[in-house]
Amino acid sequence: MPRGGPDIGALLKPDEVREWRALTVENPKSKPTAEEAAALKEKKAKEKKGKDSLLKKVVERINDSTIKKDKIKKALDKAAAEAPSEEVPRPFWLDPPSGTRDFEPAEMKVRNWLFDHMRQTAKQFGFKEYDAPVLEHVELYERKAGEEISQQMYCFTDKEGARVTLRPEMTPSLARMVLNLTNLATGEVRAALPLKWFSIPQCWRFETTQRGRKREHYQWNMDIVGEPGIVAEVELLTAVATFFKRLGVGPDIVGIRVNSRKVLDVAITKAGVPRDKFEKVCVVVDKLDKIGAEAVKCMLTEDLELPSSTADVILQCLQASSVDDLAKAVGLSQTDPAIAELKTLFELCTAYGVGDYLDFDASVVRGLAYYTGVVFEAFDRKGELRAICGGGRDDRLPGV
C-alpha cells in the first residue's frame, strides 16, 4: 500500500474516468455574456447532478470506509484531467443557433398534440385559421412601437434594398391583412364582421435567452375584429379556459387574472399623471408582481419624476381586491360603463362555466400602452412559471 493510504487512482475503472471526463464542463476563457452565463449555469447544474450520481456509484463499488468520498472525487478529477482526449472536436454548427432548438420525432409528437388542441379549441369557437409571411416589412412594426423595436428584431436589408424582418409577433400582420380588406377612404371592411381568426405562427425576437423565453417561439393567436361589446372578451376567455380543460389543467392549477385599462386610464389621469407619461407609467406598474410596491413607487417618483402622492394613488388602485374596491379607489360609480363592463364579463364567464378560472386583479396592466379595455393574463397558481398567455382589447389596432 502506498504511503498515506491506497492508490485511489488505481481503483478507478477506465469507463468511470471516461464518464467523469464527459460530464465535465469547461469554464470559459473570457468573461461570458449574460446569455452565455445563464447557459453555463444550466450546464454546471447538469454536471453536478451527473457527477454526484456517478460518484455515489463509484463509492459503493469501492466499498472502503477508510477512503473518504472527497478523495475519490479528487482522484476522478485528476484521472480525467490526465487521461488522453478521445473526443473529436465538435464543430459549433452542430448546435442550433442561440435561442433556437431542434424538435426530434418524440418532441415533435408532443408539439403536434399541443397544437392540435389549440386548433380544435379555436374551431370549436368558430375561429378560422390564417397565416402570413414569416418575413415582414420593418416599417410595419416601427409604425406601432417606434424605431427602437428594431433592436429586438432579426431585421436586415434584402438584395432589393427593402428593410425586412423575421416577424417578432403576429398582430401587426393581422392588422395589415384586415386593412387590405378595408376601404381606406370610408373605413368599411369588405367582409362580414366580426372576423374571428386564429394562427399558430413561428416568431423571432433577438432578446436575451431565459428560461421559458427563447429567440424563436411559437405563439397561439386568437383575434376578434369588429365586435365592440364585452362578449368578444368573454368568448376569448372562455376559449382559453376550455383549452386548459382539454389538457386536463383545472382552475386549481392555473388562473386568469382580469382587469380593465379603461379604469386604469381614469385612475392615472385622476392621479395627475401627464398624458405624455402614460405609456411609461403602464410599463412601470406592469412590474408590480416582479419587483414589489416599494420598487414600483421608487421608479415612479425617481425615474418618471412623479409626486409621491401621485404614486400612492396609483398603487392604491393597483392593490384593489375587487371590482367594487377598484371603483371606490378610482372614484367611479357602480354604474360607470367601465365598471359595469367588468362586472358583466365575470357574470357571463360564470354562466359559461369558466368563472372558477377567473380572478380580478387590478395590478394586471399588460405593459403595452395600446390596450384600450379589458386585459387578462393566465398564470400558474404555484407561481413557478412565466405568464402562460395574455391579451386584451385594442380598438385602435386597425389604424396601424
Residues 6+ apart with CB under 8 A from 346: 258, 323, 355, 358, 360
Main-chain phi, psi angles of 336, to 5 degrees: -60, 140
pLDDT of residue 1: 45
Per-residue pLDDT of 355-399, as tens digits, reads: 999 999 888 877 556 688 899 999 999 888 888 999 999 887 654
The listed range with the strongest mean pLDDT (20-24, 83-87, 198-202, 319-323) is 198-202
pTM attached to this predicted model: 0.74
Q: Identify residue 121 by its one-letter amino acid code.
A: T
What percent of the chain is predicted at pLDDT more than 90?
A: 43
Cell of 382: 404555484
Q: CB-based burial of residue 57 (10 Å sphere; 0-12 exposed, 13-18 middle, 19+ buried)?
A: exposed
Decide which of 214 and 119 is more confident.
Answer: 119
Rounded average pLDDT over 294-301: 87
Residue 45 in this model has a pLDDT that exceeds 70: yes
The beta-carbon contacts of 310-318 under 8 Å, at least 24 apart in sequence, are 310/271, 310/272, 310/273, 313/267, 313/270, 313/271, 313/272, 314/267, 314/268, 314/271, 314/273, 314/281, 314/285, 317/263, 317/264, 317/267, 317/271, 317/362, 318/285, 318/288, 318/362, 318/363, 318/365
pLDDT at 86: 59
Would you state the torsion angle of the CA atoms of residues 15, 20, 21, 22, taken in this order, to the nearest 10 degrees?
90
- Residues with Cβ within 8 Å of 28's Cβ and at least 6 positions away in sequence, in order, are 36, 40
User: How many residues in the chain?
Assistant: 400
- Look over the chain and give the mean of its residue pLDDT values, rounded to a whole number: 87
188, HSE (Cβ side, Cα atoms, 13 Å): 3
Cell of 168: 417578432
> How large a percentage of the chain has pLDDT more than 70?
94
One-letter amino acid for residue 227 of the chain: E
Tell me which residue of 236, 233, 206, 238 sits closest to 221, measured CA to CA.
236
**Bridging pattern class, strands 128-129 and 195-199:** parallel
Q: Residue 338 has what pLDDT?
A: 86
Question: Tens digits of per-residue pLDDT, 263-286?
Answer: 888 878 877 888 778 778 877 887
Give the DSSP H/E element, type plus range, for residue 259: strand 254-260
**Comparison of pLDDT for 6 and 353, the residue scoring more:** 353
Residues 154 and 204: beta-carbon distance below 8 Å: yes
pLDDT (mean) for 169-195: 90
Q: What is the pLDDT of residues 72-100, one digit of tens each?
A: 999 898 888 887 765 567 788 888 998 89
